[in-house]
Structure 1
Amino acid sequence: MSGTSLVLFGAVQLLLGAGLFCVVAWLMLGDVDPGEEGSDPDSGGGGGGGGGRTPRPWRPR
């Protein structure tokens, strides 16, 4: 293998790793609005819960 192909291979590996990291971070953090961080994600208002909101991705407690 030449040096150029090794550099290209390393760059592709870095891009794939960064992409995987971003996907995992997005799944763990979800779409958190800055004003919602202190609120309970399971309380959607009303007695039935949910409140018609789109659920966030799973995140550890």
Structure 2
Amino acid sequence: MSQCTGLKADGHHLILEVVTDWNAVDLVVNREVVFHCNIYDLDFGNDSKLDPPGKEARKAVLNA
């Protein structure tokens, strides 16, 4: 399960946007950045388990 799939499963609506820094991942909730990381820090193994940054991102969104 990718990070996006995990957030969708929690009932969140996602809007993906192109950013100027191609390596940046920003999660924005109500116009506030709640999580930021480098895209290369994320694991895209699709093994149905979130990697540590993915878990942090999900937690940040749930706490926003």
TM category (shorter chain) comes to under 0.3
Larger % of helix: which? 1
Larger radius of gyration: 1
Larger % of strand: which? 2
